[in-house]
Chains A and B, each alone.
Chain A
Amino acid sequence: MVIAFVFLASMTLICSLGVVLSRSIVHSALFMSGAFLGIAGFYVMLNAPALAAFQVLIYVGAVTVVILFGIMFTQKPQARHFRTIISKQLWPGFFVTAGVGAFLAYIVTIQDWSGSEPGNGMRSVGQLGETLLGVNGAPEIFGLLFEVASVLLLVAVIAAIVVSRRKTGEGIDRGVEE
């Protein structure tokens, strides 16, 4: 268990550092998939295989692939590399990082960790689905959030269609104009 933890933790940390420190945006995206895989490994260690499978499916298989796809489709090859890894937004970045770090540290200190065992949550997919949809006495707020998320996705899809649609009838073709 300890060996697996050290392996996964170092993999996640090294890949996360790679995301931030890499000068090529494609390398950053690939490192990000490695970090996501490490997190999925943690879910497996915590006895939550369903969560791990969804983590791989959504974050590695969908998010990273779409990011890479977008990078390759939109940018010129020379724009995929940065000369420096220090962005112009140094101070806002610093404050965001410090805030997130302080918040996580606060959570770690107030939680009582002595009584928590891995794998005492909902493990089977059926139970997870029932809780998510608010049936069999589960709180219904998750069902509402689930629906809101799907509405958000619908809005995103329609927005993508509107943005990418070519204007017809005006004689202006965006692909030619730019």
Chain B
Amino acid sequence: MSLDILNQEPIRFLLSFGVVLFLVLNLAAIFTMAERKVSAYIHLRFGPNRVGPRGLLQPAADVFKLFTKENLAPSRADIWVFLAAPIAMFLPAALVWLVVPFAPNAVIADLNVAIVFFIAMTSIGALGLIMAGYGSRSSFSLLGALRGAAQMISYEVPLILSLLGVIMLSGSLSLVDVVNAQAGGFWHWYFLPQLPMFVVFYIAGLAEARRVPFDLPEGESEIVGGFMVEYSGMTWALIQAAEFASMGLISAITVTLFFGGWQPPFEFLDLGNFNWFWFGLKTSILVFTFQWVRWSLPRLRMDQLMDLGWKILVPASLIWLFVTAGAMLLLPSVF
């Protein structure tokens, strides 16, 4: 009875939004730690190992340092746009977590248009990037923002096209329905019939999260940090948090769409309400592959980026869309 008040609408929403915000903010700290450790092991180093056991408290030290740093803004900056940009980048990435199903019955908002919501929110991310680049009034920032906007507009197309196969197979735009349609062992997961779409989605997702090899908006060696070159202290930290949140988000959405969400790999491993373990495990593995790619591949050139997006990913996803549609039409018994 006492828990009923938590189910009342504004309280339930505020509570769950608070939980998701907590998760996303901490995710940024944890992913920073993971990033540094993974990079260190790939470089055959130890990585951070001074703060706490095996350096595990390093994120806390990082956050403390960032809080005490001064927030600098260029004197010629468009100050309101400059300060609003990190928020405009972070909020969309945080909001999409509302529709991600963590476990059976553990989804904050089971929208019947969750996939469209996800696409809409990722498309706002480009706006924050442009705001950051324009607001700083610096040439490097503007170049980074232009690159970022071009990249995110271009890679949105294959990202959306690669989702269509899953939508056709599951017949629903709700992420909960997509997960339920993949029940019963890993051979029912959509990454097998939709392998080309999965590859396209993964690459486009890397580009949307602006990870290496698609980090042209930052391009440390060319434009010294791109759109975030003028940021410092907590505004910079919020941009970093947004990037890590969107990396975790792309992994979580990939798991939900192509790897069965919280579905266990074999039916006898079903953990009931604790199936969030499978979701977390798969998401972590995917995040690790993102980091692995980051520390292994060089950055693409701008024209190579555009060629890859428009000449390879878009046709590939269109072809597999037709193959899926044809298979569903000719072999209705299989689907």
Please list the residues of chain A having a beta carbon within 8 angstroms of any beta carbon in chain B: 24, 26-27, 30, 33, 49-50, 53-54, 56-57, 60-62, 64-66, 68-69, 72-73, 124-125
Identify the closest chain B residue to A72 (Cβ): B146
**Cβ < 8 Å to A, chain B residues 144-183:** 145-146, 149-150, 152-153, 156, 173
Q: Are B131 and A65 in contact (CB under 8 A)?
A: no
**Cβ < 8 Å to A, chain B residues 83-121:** 111-113, 116-117, 119-121
B82: min CB distance to chain A, Å: 12
Interface of B is mostly: helix
Identify the closest chain B residue to A50 (Cβ): B113
Sort A-B residue pairs by CB-CB distance and give the 8 closest, nearest first. Answer: A61-B123, A57-B120, A56-B120, A53-B116, A50-B113, A69-B149, A65-B126, A53-B120
Q: Which residues of B contact A26 (CB under 8 A)?
A: 78, 81, 134
Q: Are B142 and A72 in contact (CB under 8 A)?
A: yes
Mind listing 9 A-B residue pairs with CB under 8 Å? A26-B81, A30-B81, A30-B131, A49-B112, A53-B120, A60-B123, A61-B120, A72-B142, A125-B116
B residues contacting the other copy or chain, number (CB 8 A):
28
Given A49-B112, A124-B112, A69 and B146 contact (CB-CB distance below 8 Å):
yes
B127 at the interface (CB under 8 A from A): yes
Q: Which residues of B contact A54 (CB under 8 A)?
A: 116, 120
Roughly how many angstroms separate A33 CA and B117 CA in the complex, as a whole number?
17
Other A-B pairs beyond A26-B78, A66-B153, A72-B149, 14, CB < 8 Å: A26-B81, A30-B127, A49-B112, A50-B113, A56-B120, A56-B124, A65-B123, A65-B126, A65-B130, A69-B130, A69-B146, A69-B149, A72-B146, A125-B116
Identify the closest chain A residue to B111 (Cβ): A49
In the complex, which of the residues B111, B113, B116, B150 contacts A69, with contact meaning CB atoms closer than 8 Å? B150
A157: min CB distance to chain B, Å: 12
Q: Which residues of A contact B123 (CB under 8 A)?
A: 56-57, 60-62, 65
Roughly how many angstroms separate A65 CA and B146 CA in the complex, as a whole number?
11
Q: Are B116 and A61 in contact (CB under 8 A)?
A: no
Q: Which residues of A contact B126 (CB under 8 A)?
A: 61, 65
B139: min CB distance to chain A, Å: 10
